[in-house]
């Protein structure tokens, strides 16, 4: 199969220029990520369904996997600030597999059964010969060699450090440990942080030469070391616990990355926002309201708080929602990823161009 993108060198130059300006807070408009997938070629659900081929067992040769993604990439149209991107998706927090966890795959996601060990018996390390390390790096290397600079590559979904420990220990057990074994939790998290950074470095060494930077599971490009940090277990802990057990890890990752973002997932994490805004080197916040919550445009005070805190902000939003946010708060500093789950149907090219003109003229 041959890569035949609806994207040329002039498009790449524009994307890099505008994204760099956005990171520097020098872009006077929002970034708008908007793409279409020709339904005759495939569906968005199929894109993530291809990840099922990456599960353990009789895996196809890497290029057989990439053939499926290449077919979909060839069927995409890119509007606004969107661009061709790919990352090896094994489900959220797959790094737990390298640390000894056994993944259980479901369509589009992965789960881990707890190891059934107390915290002090959980050993944290991974070998250069670990099969999951070879699997992920092998696929990334195949993509880098095959697509070069034609597709921006990203790290897999590594997972948050407290979340990774929960995958190994079990969430209930770890929550008890946060109360009863504070020093041991701190020790284990610090060990995971060092392994997390080592694993990111190994992937980035493959990614950076292909696109002069990094993408990821979220639709970003940065001219350096980018990652979407997270701590989903933080939904269930107090700001005091967040400050003790999560913030030091986030600080270490922010120091090691050039373009760190944070995945603020659900209303239960809003209590931690002031601590997140205190991280000087954290570049921005991705706000995910969560299932059953109002869409992003209904959270204007929260979005304003993020921007007033000096951070960039990304949301998955409908076209109508993006226009409302831009009208109410101004578009500068926002990345609007237009989510068709909210709009229902893809825009035609004419509708996309009309929408982009409208939001840029505000």
SS3 category, 79: strand
Which position has the token pair 């009863």? 180
Q: Is residue 58 over pLDDT 60?
A: no
Q: How far is CA 208 from CA 22, 198, 216, in A?
A: 20, 15, 12
CA angle 140, 143, 145 (to 5 degrees): 110
pLDDT tier at 5 (50, 70, 90 boundaries)? Answer: very high
Q: What is the pLDDT of residue 340?
A: 76
Q: What is the pLDDT, as a whole number, of residue 55?
A: 47
Q: What is the DSSP string of 20-76?
A: HHHHTT--SS-EEEEEEE-TTT--HHHHHHGGGGGSSSSPPPHHHHHHHHHHHHHTE
Residue 341 has pLDDT above 90, yes or no: no
Q: CB count, 10 Å around CB of 299?
A: 19
Cα three-residue angle 320-324-325, rounded to 5 degrees: 120
Residue 250 has pLDDT above 60, yes or no: yes
pLDDT digits (tens, 9 = 90+) for 69-103: 999 999 999 999 999 999 998 889 999 999 999 99
What residue ranges do the domains of the chain occupy?
A: 29-360
Domain 29-360: which topology? TIM Barrel (3.20.20)
- The residues, ordered by sequence, that sit 6+ positions from 324 with a Cβ below 8 Å of its Cβ are 297
Whether the predicted pLDDT of 57 surpasses 50: no
Q: Please state which of the ranges 42-51, 140-149, 160-169, 213-222 shows the lowest mean pLDDT.
A: 42-51
In sequence order, what E strands does 183-304 have? 226-229, 259-265, 284-288
The tokens for 11 are 């498009």
**How many C-beta atoms surround the C-beta of residue 290 within 10 A?**
13
For the segment 218-231, the average pLDDT, to the nearest whole number, is 97
* β-sheet with 284-288: strand ranges across: 76-80, 31-37, 334-338, 312-317, 284-288, 259-265, 226-229
**For the residues 33-51, what does the mean pLDDT come to?**
81
- Which uninterrupted H or E stretch holds 152? strand 152-153
Read off the pLDDT band of 64 (50, 70, 90).
Answer: confident
Q: pTM (2 decimals)?
A: 0.95
When pLDDT is averaged across residues 313-339 and rounded to a whole number, the result is: 97
Residue 29 neighbours by CB distance under 10 Å = 20
């Amino acid at each position: 199969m041959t890569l035949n993108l609806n994207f040329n060198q002039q498009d790449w130059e524009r994307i890099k220029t505008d994204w760099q300006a956005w990171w520097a807070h020098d872009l006077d408009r929002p970034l708008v990520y908007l793409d279409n997938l020709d339904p005759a070629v495939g569906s968005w659900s199929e894109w993530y369904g291809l990840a099922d081929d990456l599960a353990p067992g009789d895996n196809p040769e890497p290029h057989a996997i990439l053939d499926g993604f290449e077919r979909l990439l060839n069927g995409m149209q890119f509007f606004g600030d969107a661009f061709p991107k790919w990352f090896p998706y094994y489900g959220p927090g797959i790094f737990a597999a390298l640390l000894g966890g056994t993944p259980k795959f479901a369509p589009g996601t992965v789960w881990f059964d707890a190891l059934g060990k107390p915290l002090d018996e959980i050993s944290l390390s991974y070998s250069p010969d670990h099969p999951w390390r070879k699997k992920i790096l092998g696929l990334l290397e195949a993509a880098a060699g095959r697509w070069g600079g034609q597709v921006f590559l990203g790290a897999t979904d590594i997972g948050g450090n407290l979340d990774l420990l929960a995958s190994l220990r079990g969430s209930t057990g770890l929550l008890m440990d946060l109360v009863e074994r504070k020093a041991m939790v701190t020790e284990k998290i610090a060990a995971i942080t060092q392994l997390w950074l080592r694993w990111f470095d190994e992937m980035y060494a493959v990614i950076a030469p292909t696109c002069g930077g990094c993408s990821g599971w979220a639709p970003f490009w940065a001219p350096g070391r980018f990652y979407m940090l997270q701590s989903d277990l933080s939904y269930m802990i107090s700001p005091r616990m967040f400050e003790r057990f999560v913030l030091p890890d986030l600080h270490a990752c922010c120091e090691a990355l050039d373009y760190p973002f944070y995945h603020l997932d659900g209303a239960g994490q809003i209590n931690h926002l002031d601590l997140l805004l205190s991280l000087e080197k954290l570049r921005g916040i991705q706000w995910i309201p969560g299932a059953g919550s109002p869409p992003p445009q209904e959270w204007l005070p929260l979005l304003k708080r993020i921007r007033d805190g000096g951070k960039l902000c990304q949301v998955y939003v409908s076209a109508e929602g993006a226009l409302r946010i831009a009208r109410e708060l101004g578009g500068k500093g926002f990345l609007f990823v237009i989510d068709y789950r909210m709009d229902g149907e893809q825009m035609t090219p004419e509708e996309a161009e009309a929408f982009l003109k409208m939001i840029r003229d505000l």
